[in-house]
Structure 1
Amino acid sequence: MKDAYFFAVDLGATSGRTIIGHLFNNQLELKQLTRFPNKIIEIKGHFYWDIYALYNEIINGLKIAAEQNIPIQSIGIDTWGVDFVFFGKDGDILRAPYSYRDNHTVGAPEEFFKITPREKVYGVTGIQIMNFNSLYQLYTLRKNHCSALNAADKILFMPDALGYLLTGKMVTEYTIASTSQMLDPRTKQLNKELMEAAGVKPEQFAPITFPGEQLGTISEEIQAMTGLGPVPVIVIAGHDTGSAVASVPAENERFAYLSSGTWSLMGIETKNAIINNESFEKNFTNEGGIEGTTRFLKNICGLWIIERCKKELKTLPAYSYDELNKIAIKAPAFRTLFNPDSPCFANPSSMTESIKNYCKVTNQPIPETDGEWVRCIFESLALRYRQVFADLQKMAPFTIEVLHIIGGGSKNELLDQFTCNSLGIPVVAGPTEGTAIGNIMMQAKASGLVNTIEEMRKLIRASIETVEYFPKDNDIWEEGYKKYLSVYRTDI
C-alpha cells in the first residue's frame, strides 16, 4: 500500500476536530490538527449553529496541513444528523441554521400526524419518531412562516452545506439524508409526499449522492486562502454515526454497536431495512450506511447527562473521567435509577433538578455525594442499554454475540464494564476515534486503497488497540434491572 494522507473534518454536537489519517503498510495512523468547540448560540429564545465559525475552523485546519507540507489526497466531512441550512438563489446562506435542541418542534410530530398518520410516516421511512427530525423541523418552520424557508432555493444538510462552501457543488448525501425522516430506505430517495406535507418541494434538495463519490475540488478561493492545490472533496458517510459504524473492527456480521458520546446509538448493521409492527412500536430507526447497508438502531440519551451535571455541580468539574469512576465505584449500587430517555432530560434548564424531580416522582433517594450522582447516571445508562438491547435482539436477523463500543465514551472503563454486566455479553471497546476513522477509510476506499467493508475493518483491527470486557456479577445486575424497570417512566 502506498503512503496516503487524508483530511477528516469531524463535527460533533459539542466539539469538532480536523484530523489527518496516514495510511502506510496496511496501517492507519491519526494525527489531530485542531480541536474546537461547536457552540450553540441563543438569540431571541431560539438556538442556532454558527456555521460560519465551523467553516472558518475547516479553513484553519487546511492552512495548518499546508504549512506542515502534508500532501492531502482528499477531504471528507461528517457531522451530527437532522439539521440543515437554507441557501438563496444567489447561493448564499439565508440564516444561521436552527439547532435540533431548539424547542420549537416540541409537539410537532403529533400535529404532523393529523396530516399524515404516524403509521404511514414510519412505514415509508422506518425512522424513529423524534420531535427534532428534519421533517418536523421543516413543518414547524413552514407553519411559523419562516422567511428563510420561504426564500430558500436549496436546503442542504450540514455536511453537504459545508462541502458546498468548499467546492461550490451541491449534493444530498445518502446517510445524512436518511436521518431526516423524509427518505425511503427501499428506493433510497427522498419521499415527495412527505416533503410536500412538510411544506417543502423536492426541487429544493440536491440529488442524492452515495458515500465514496467525489463532490468536487476545493475552490480557487480556498486554494489561495490555504496554500493548497485543487484537493478533491469526497462524499463520505456524512452522518457521524454512519462514519463511526464503518469503523467497527468486527470480524463478522453478528455484532451490535454502541456509538457512545453526547448521544448513545445502539444498533446492528443489516442489508435491508427492518420496518414492521414491532420496530414501529419500539420506535427503532433505519438509517443509511456505507455500501448500501442499513443501520438499524435506537437513539439513546448519552453522556450529555453527565456533562450537564458536571457543569452544574460545584465539585464534579474538577474530576477527570478516571476520577469520576473511582468515586462512583465507592457509592452504593442501584441506590437511584432513572430512564435517561425520559422527556425531562432532553434539554432542561437544569439537569440536576430534573434528576431530583424524577427521584421525587418515583419515590427514590436523591443523590447526595458526587459518587452517588455519577453512579446513578452510569448505572441508569447501562440498564437503559440493556432494555434497548433486548428489543434489538428480538428483531435482529442473527444472534448478537458481541457489543462493540466506539466513540469517545468507549474510554470510560467503568461505564464499559457496567454495560457488559448489564447486557451479559462480551464487550469490545474501541476505537475512540471511530467517526474520524470511518471518514478516513471511506476516503481511502474512494481512492482505491481498500475495496470493501471487510478490507476496511481488517485494516482497522490491525491499526488500533481495543479493550475486551466480560460479564460479572450477573445476579446483582439482574436485581438492578428489576429495580430499573420498576421506576422506568416515560411521562416525566
Structure 2
Amino acid sequence: MAQAAATRTVAAVDLGAESGRVTAVDFDGSALALRIVNRFDNRPRMVDGILRWDLNALWRNIGAGLGELAGGTPISAVGVDTWGVDYGLLDASGAVLDDPVCYRDDRGARALQRALGTVGAQRLYDETGVQILSINGLFGMLADVTELPERLPAANTLVMMPDVFHHLLSGSRVSEYTAVSTSGAYNMAENRWATELLDDLGIPTHMLPEVVPPGTDVGALLPELAGGALAGARVILPPGHDTASAVVATPFRDRGAVFISSGTWSLVGIETPAAVINEATRLANLTNEGGYRGSIRLLRNVMGLWILQQCRATWRAEGIELDYQQIADLAAGEPPLRSLIDPDHPMFLAPGDMPGRIRRFCAETGQPVPTSVGEVARCVVDSLALGYRAVVDDLIAVTGQRPPSISVVGGGSRHALLAQLTADATGLPVHCGPVEATALGNAAVQLATLGELAGPDEIRAAIAAGTEMTSYQPRPGAEIADAAQRFASLRAAGAGQESASTATKSRQ
C-alpha cells in the first residue's frame, strides 16, 4: 500500500435522507479514522403544495461543520455525497433557482404514468438500464414540464443533488457520474445522457451538464470558504451517490459477494464490470448504477429503514419515546414471520402514520394485524429480510451464480436482528460494518485523487484495517421457505395496486 509521508485529512460531507454529517477523515498510510464534527437532521417540508428539501438549512449546517474544521489541522480536500435521483437547477449567473423537489413528492407517480403512456416501459428500461421507480429524476423532470412549465426553461444548468453543493463550494457546473446514473435520464450502456428519450418525452436538454467521473478535482474552495485550516483545500468529487461511496468502502470478505447499503433505503446488489441490460434484468426490475473506476452496481432498491423511521416518529407523537435499539429489542421478543408487508408498496413511500398503514396492509391481505410496537417492528424487519432474499434470488437468476456472502454497511449494519434474519432468509453468511461506510468511501476517493491510495483494493484494505466486523451465520428453518412464498404472493397481489419498485406496467 502507498505510504503517506504524514497523516492526510479530508472533509467528507455525507447527506442522507434523514440526517447529514460533516466528517474529518484522517489517513496515516495504513488505515482511515473518521471524526464526526457536525451531525444534523434533514427533513423535507411542504412549500406551496410541493415537498422540497430545505437547501438553506443543509448549506448552513455544512458551513457550520466546515467552520469547525477551519480551526484544526489542515484539510486537503472536501467532497459531498447525497441520496440519488434528485437535482437542482442553476440560472445563468450560478444562483440556485429554488429548493430542489424531494423524490417523495407525489408528482413523480403521476409523471411515471404519463411516461409509460408516451414511450412505454420497455423503452424506458432499454435506453437507461435503470429500474422503473416513480422517484427517478427523469419523472421529476417530466413533472416539471407538465406541472411547473416555467421551471426547466429558466434553468441554465441541471446538476444532481451532491453537485448543487459542489457548485456552492467551488463554482463548478458539472455533475458526477454515479449521481447522474441514478436519474433514469442517462444511457448506462453508452455512457451519455439519454437525449432521444428526453426529446420524445418533451423534456428540454439545454440544461444538461458535462458528466465527470468520481475523483474529479473541480477546483479550489471559493475564497470566502477557504479560511484557516481550509486554505488551499480542493473540491474533489467523490462518488456522489451515497450508495456508490458506501460500496467503495465495503470490505468484502469474498469476491462476488452481495452488498446491502442499509439506511433509509436498502440497496441490494453486486458489482459488475459493465452494465447488464437485457430482458431478464428488465423483468426483475434490476437497475444499473455507476460505481468507482468504471464499475457498475447491479441492484434493486428496497424501501429500507425508512419504514421504521416513520414508525418511530408516529410513536413519538403518541408519547412513546423509544430509540432504535429499544424498538429492535421489542421486535426480537415477538414471534417471527407472523405478519408480512411488501416494503415497496406505494403506501409506504410517503411520510405519515406508518404503523397505521402496516395494520391496514395486513388487514387487507388477511393476515394477523400487529398492534404493539414490538409486533409492528417485527413485521417490518421480517419483511425487509424477505425483501433482501427476493433481490438475491433475482440476482442469482440473471447471473447464474450464487453469491458466497452478504456484506452490510451503513446504519442498518448495527441492527443485529435484521442482520441475523437476513442470513436466515438468504441462507448466506452476513458480515456487517462499517457503519460510516458512505463517509469513508467519500473520503477514500478524495485521498486516491490526492495520490494516497491506488484504487478500490487499497481503499478496501485501508478501511478493513480500521473496522471491527460482526458476522452472522444462517440458521436452518423450513418456515423461511414458507414465508418467502407468502411474501412473493403479497408482492404479486400488491393489495390490488402497483408495487412501488416493480410496477405492473414495467413487465408488459
Tell me the distance in 2 between the aligned counterparts of 1:485 and 1:397: 21
Tell me the distance in 1 between the aligned counterparts of 2:332 and 2:466: 32
Tell me the distance in 2 between the aligned counterparts of 1:425 and 1:303: 21
Q: Which residue of 2 aligns with 1:403?
A: 406
SS at match of 1:102: coil
Q: Which residue of 2 aligns with 1:475?
A: 478
Percent identity between the two aligned chains: 34
Q: Which residue of 1 aligns with 2:67?
A: 63
CA 201–66 in structure 1, closer or farther in 2 if over 3 Å, else same: same
Is 1:455 the equivalent of 2:449?
no
Aligned AA for 1:43?
V
CA 432–80 in structure 1, closer or farther in 2 if over 3 Å, else same: same
Tell me the distance in 2 between the aligned counterparts of 1:241 and 1:187: 22
Aligned AA for 1:382?
A
Q: Which residue of 1 aligns with 2:301?
A: 299
SS at match of 2:117: coil
Q: Which residue of 2 aligns with 1:22?
A: 26
Give unmatched runs, 5+ long, in structure 1.
none
Moved more, 346-355 or 380-389: 346-355
Give the deviation of 1:334 after TM superposition. 1.6
Tell me the distance in 1 between the aligned counterparts of 2:417 and 2:319: 17
Q: Which residue of 2 aligns with 1:265?
A: 267
1:426 and 1:468 in contact (8 A); partners too? yes
SS at match of 1:148: coil
Give unmatched runs, 5+ long, in structure 2.
498-508
Q: Deviation per CA, 1:439-465: give whole Å up to 9, x if none.
A: 011011101111121111111111111
Aligned-residue CA RMSD (Å):
1.7
SS at match of 2:113: helix
Is 1:249 the equivalent of 2:242?
no
Tell me the distance in 1 between the aligned counterparts of 2:69 and 2:139: 39
Q: Which residue of 2 aligns with 1:440?
A: 443
* TM-score (norm. length: structure 1): 0.96
Q: Deviation per CA, 1:75-113: give whole Å up to 9, x if none.
A: 111001111111111211111111001111223222113
Tell me the distance in 1 between the aligned counterparts of 2:352 and 2:68: 38
Q: Which residue of 2 aligns with 1:240?
A: 242
CA 450–436 in structure 1, closer or farther in 2 if over 3 Å, else same: same
Give the deviation of 1:116 after TM superposition. 2.1
CA 291–166 in structure 1, closer or farther in 2 if over 3 Å, else same: same
Give the deviation of 1:474 after TM superposition. 2.4
Say which of 107, 110, 117 aligns to 1:107.
110
1:40 and 1:49 in contact (8 A); partners too? yes
Q: Which residue of 2 aligns with 1:9?
A: 13
Give the deviation of 1:316 after TM superposition. 8.5
Is 1:312 the equivalent of 2:317?
no
Give the deviation of 1:150 after TM superposition. 2.2
1:259 and 1:265 in contact (8 A); partners too? yes
Q: Deviation per CA, 1:373-416: give whole Å up to 9, x if none.
A: 11111111111111121111112364310100110000000110
Tell me the distance in 1 between the aligned counterparts of 2:413 and 2:196: 40
Q: How does 1:22-61 map to 2 (within 5 A)?
A: 22-61=26-65
Say which of 463, 466, 469 aligns to 1:466.
469
Q: Which residue of 2 aligns with 1:186?
A: 189
Tell me the distance in 1 between the aligned counterparts of 2:319 and 2:341: 20
Q: Which residue of 2 aligns with 1:156?
A: 159
Say which of 145, 158, 176 aligns to 2:179.
176
Q: Which residue of 2 aligns with 1:276?
A: 278
Runs of 4 or more consecutive aligned structure 1 residues displaced over 4 Å after TM superposition: 314-317
Q: Which residue of 2 aligns with 1:144?
A: 147
SS at match of 2:152: helix
Tell me the distance in 1 between the aligned counterparts of 2:81 and 2:320: 29
1:135 and 1:198 in contact (8 A); partners too? no
Tell me the distance in 1 between the aligned counterparts of 2:204 and 2:195: 8
SS at match of 1:128: coil
Size of the aligned set, in residue pairs, is 490
Q: Deviation per CA, 1:180-203: give whole Å up to 9, x if none.
A: 111112221112112323444433
1:424 and 1:474 in contact (8 A); partners too? no
